Structure 1
Amino acid sequence: MRIVYLHQYFNTANMAGGTRSFEFARRLVTMGHSVDMITTDRFGERTTSGWVVTEEDGIQVHWTHVPYSNTMTYGDRMRAFGQYSLLAGSRAASVRPEVVFASSTPLTIAFPGAYTARRCRVPMVLEVRDLWPEVPIALGALRTPLERVAARWLERFAYRNAARVVALSPDMKRGVTATGYPAEKVSVIPNACDIELFASAEIAGEQLRMSESWIGQNPLIVYCGTVGLVNGVEYLVHVAVEMLRLNPEVRFLVVGGGRCLSDVKALAAKLGVLDKNMRFMSELPKSDIPAVLGAATLAISTVIDQPVLHANSANKVFDAMAASTPVVINHEGWLADLFRENSAGLVVPARDSALAARNIDALLRDQDRLSKMRDSSFMLASTRFCRDSLARQLEGVLLDALGESESGTKG
């Protein structure tokens, strides 16, 4: 297959941020397919105008400069989405693909995806990473009736033009089918675990502990990811406050950046935990994450207390499992069910940071339970969430869409 892969926020392993598209695309290349990634150079490192093409592990990556960051206002982000949509459609169509794979967020990815599919008379497969527009509506980003009507129209447009849909969690699949989209055309392919990348996590983690006296041999809880509005990392600050009283040896490390980073650090300073039992580190490329998670006793993934966010499939969770590091989450949903059923993680209450701290402290003091959680985490990583297996599942979805399209054309 000649695949055009549309993803506005594509990252290689040497860049900070999620690498789902990179990992899947390079595996599709290994399977014998041609992949052209249409994306943005968000920081102007490769180009400030026009398009630049690089080869990344066999992927032909087309970069154009569209500034974007988590610190932007909602209006600025919408303009960035629109700019990419206008530029990406014609570029993708020029590749003359056999199938289009468009990965959201944002759901505006459907515009260049549908344009390319129609112009080249090929199918589009849409990947849904968030329940949109439910999330921005719940967060108050879409305030006016007109904005909400437009968002619902975009949702219908996206699904109407998709030959298949890939959802990142069972909860997201339910959200997609609730719109009337056929369930048999929705495949659940969650975020995945890169077993090979994290194979040396334990050794790298020990080296990190030896180089950082603040960590030493103390229990370490790590948050790796965006510090944005939906992430609710303030919750972790309040847990750290309670933990300082319960077990002052426990360390909290936040690795990442985002719109709310300065506010979270200010809160940590105000509540007296900054540089005591809590520290912050700038975001790191994916290739450096194994050392951090290898050093961690526990990883944590938080969201603000909004039920619509319970469907999330956060990269940080799967990276931790690949490193055999048990994960703490503060929300319900499919991940909470997964952890409870497999004794692979800890679910703590979203509205009670004191109880969360007590539950975490109890786990840290129970070495037998921790050891079993580590084993269960890696078992899930290597079986249900192995990147190689999920890449083959994605290949199957793309082939099915292409085969159905070709049958329809011949008919």
Structure 2
Amino acid sequence: MKKEVLIITSYFPPEIGAASNRIFQLANGLQQNDFNVSVLTPLPNYPTGKIFDGYKVKFRHVSEEKNITIHRLWIYASNSKNKLLRLIAMLSYSCSLIWFFMWNKIPKTVIVQSPPLLVAFTSMFFLRNKKRNLILNVSDLWPIAGLELGALKKNFSYKMLEKIERFNYKNANLILGQSEEILTHVISMFPNKKTFLYRNYPDFQPPQLQQVTSSGKLKIVYAGLLGIAQGIYKLCTALDYSTIELHIYGSGAEQSLIEDFVYQHPELPIFFHGRVTRDELHPLLLKYDIAIIPLLNRIYGSVPSKIFEYARLGMPMLYFGGGEGENVIENNNLGWIATSGDYGDLNRVISNIKMESLTLERRQNIQDVAVDNFNFKKQLELLKAII
């Protein structure tokens, strides 16, 4: 008999981005390996902050996709920079979760995604039970990450978030962390807590690689969320374009700033391509020389999932984010590293990248490392054994 598992998350396809991809892959992987999986998630709205077409004017939407039952609940959708509106959005989803918990039978095994902290707290608080196996999947360390990003200050609200964070960890039977730094942080609070390193490894067929045709300039691509944390607008303004092209795919809070900058500087080789689906993106990425992975500030506990996805695509990477991600790039020979926050060093590193070093053999070696070391199926087998 299949084991019942409920996954509670704030992000799920058709929403785009690492968070939704990560949870869908976990749900799909478990469903294909003797688990009966259901998902609780808001009506899709990320990153636009507006309910997607086909889901509007609905309080609840239930569907079955790849044998996974998906319950989409009402949310006051917003991507506003106004903290009050964003809090209202999280509270609205939390209220929908409480309503769902009251009227539906909840499986014994529940996986809760964190952040958002408040949504995770709602789930951990209302579902805590000695007979229930609560698994907390921690992808970023909040409130620490918010402090490092400048989104939070050390005040009363911050102390409350720290208390919520501790409550969530304390009441979890198992904590999944996407980085060693996350697990170290958890164990520093609760030394006996059961933890598991769960990287965001992708699970798609590695493409057949071909040599990229040189155009004379180094073709650098960024693909993903155009948010404050990524700092793509700052990147556009700080790069030396004498030997490079910059191609950008994605959407997010900084999109209008980036589009305006590109429009106002037609002399610069910056190309904004907008948002595309993940399936559309993969073949597009293969025509570029290197992929850049930036963070505006080093964020403790963060290891961008793009590292593992690009590696499976055989993409050489330029990492500009600091922290544990640097170790992954260096230890697996996946590309180049520039000092986090130092745009002078970034331009220096770029100027030293030789076109002749971007060989097909190098791409193949990167892909081989990903297939051998960043293996989703092997990781899932280990996870299955402990849940």
Letter in 1 for 2:71: H
User: Which residue of the partner structure matches residue 362 of structure 1?
Assistant: 352
Q: How does 1:126-137 map to 2 (within 5 A)?
A: 126-137=136-147
Please say if 1:65 is aligned against 2:74: yes
Q: Secondary structure at the match of 1:225?
A: strand
Q: What runs of 5+ residues in structure 2 fail to find an aligned partner? A: 46-50
What is the CA–CA distance in structure 2 between the aligned matches of 1:80 and 1:348, rounded to whole Å? 37
2: CA distance between counterparts of 1:92 and 1:294? 45
Cα deviation for residue 66 of structure 1 reads 1.7
Cα distance in 2, alignment partners of residues 141 and 236 from structure 1? 20
Corresponding position: 1:186 with 2:176: no
Unpaired runs of at least 5, structure 1? 210-214, 399-411
Distance across 2 between alignment mates of 1:10 and 1:133: 22
User: Which has the larger helix fraction?
Assistant: 1
Q: 1:344 to 1:148 in 2, by over 3 A?
A: same
Partner secondary structure for residue 312 of structure 1:
coil
- Equivalent residue, structure 1, for 2:287: 295
Q: 1:362 to 1:257 in 2, by over 3 A?
A: same
Matched, 1:313 2:321: no
Structural mapping, 1:329-340, within 5 Å = 329-340=319-330
Matched AA of 2:165: E
Task: Give 1:339 shift.
Answer: 1.5
1:15-34 → structure 2 map (5 Å cutoff): 15-18=15-18, 19-34=21-36
Matches within 5 A, 1:2-401: 2-12=4-14, 15-18=15-18, 19-41=21-43, 42=45, 43-44=51-52, 45-68=54-77, 70-92=79-101, 94-115=104-125, 117-118=127-128, 121-143=131-153, 145-182=155-192, 185-196=194-205, 198-199=206-207, 202=209, 219-240=218-239, 242=240, 244-245=241-242, 247=243, 250-269=244-263, 272=265, 274=266, 276-306=268-298, 309-367=299-357, 370-371=359-360, 373-398=362-387
Over 3 Å counting, the alpha-carbon distance change for 1:106 and 1:275 in structure 2 is farther
* 1:299-334 Cα deviation digits (max 9, x unpaired): 11111134xx15322232222111100111113222
Q: Residue 120 of structure 1: CA displacement? A: 8.9
Q: Distance in 2 between matches of 1:393 and 1:78?
A: 36
Q: CA deviation at 1:296?
A: 2.0
Conserved 8 A contact 1:224-1:255? yes
> 2: distance between equivalents of 1:263 and 1:322?
31
Amino acid in the other structure paired with 2:183: K
Task: Measure, in 2, the Cα distance between the counterparts of 1:340 and 1:372.
Answer: 18
Deviation of 1:136 (Å):
1.4
Change (3 A) 1:111 1:266: same
Task: Give secondary structure in 2 for the equivalent of 1:63.
Answer: strand
Distance 1:334 1:229, change over 3 A: same
Secondary structure at the counterpart of residue 299 of structure 1: strand
Measured against aligned partners, the alpha-carbon deviations of 1:87-122 in whole angstroms (never above 9, x if no partner) come to 124425614312010011212232342245336941
Distance 1:92 1:275 in 2: 56
Measure the CA separation in 2 of the matches of 1:376 and 1:177. 35
Across the two proteins, how many residue pairs are aligned to each other?
Answer: 375
Q: Give the Cα–Cα distance (whole angstroms) in 2 for the partners of residues 275 and 23 of structure 1.
A: 41
- Equivalent-residue separation in structure 2 for 1:116 and 1:58 (angstroms): 27
Change (3 A) 1:393 1:117: farther
Q: 1:297 to 1:151 in 2, by over 3 A?
A: same
* Alpha-carbon distance change, 391 to 239 in structure 1, aligned in 2, over 3 angstroms: farther
Distance change in 2, residues 1:11/1:107 (3 Å): same
- Contact kept in structure 2, 1:17 and 1:285, CA below 8 Å: no
Alignment RMSD: 2.6
Please tell me whether the aligned partners of residues 193 and 381 of structure 1 are also in contact (alpha carbons under 8 angstroms). no
| Greater RCO (CA < 8 Å, at least 6 residues apart) | 1
1:251-290 Cα offsets, whole Å, 9 max, x none, are: 21111111122223434555x3x57411112222221121
Identical-residue share of aligned pairs (%): 20
CA distance in 2, matches of 1:173, 1:294: 34
CA drift at 1:370: 4.9
Distance 2:110 2:267 in 1: 48
How many angstroms apart in 1 are the aligned matches of 2:222 and 2:345? 19
> How far apart are the structure 2 equivalents of 1:275 and 1:113?
51
Aligned mates of 1:348, 1:372 — CA distance in 2: 23
What is the Cα deviation at residue 54 of structure 1?
A: 0.9
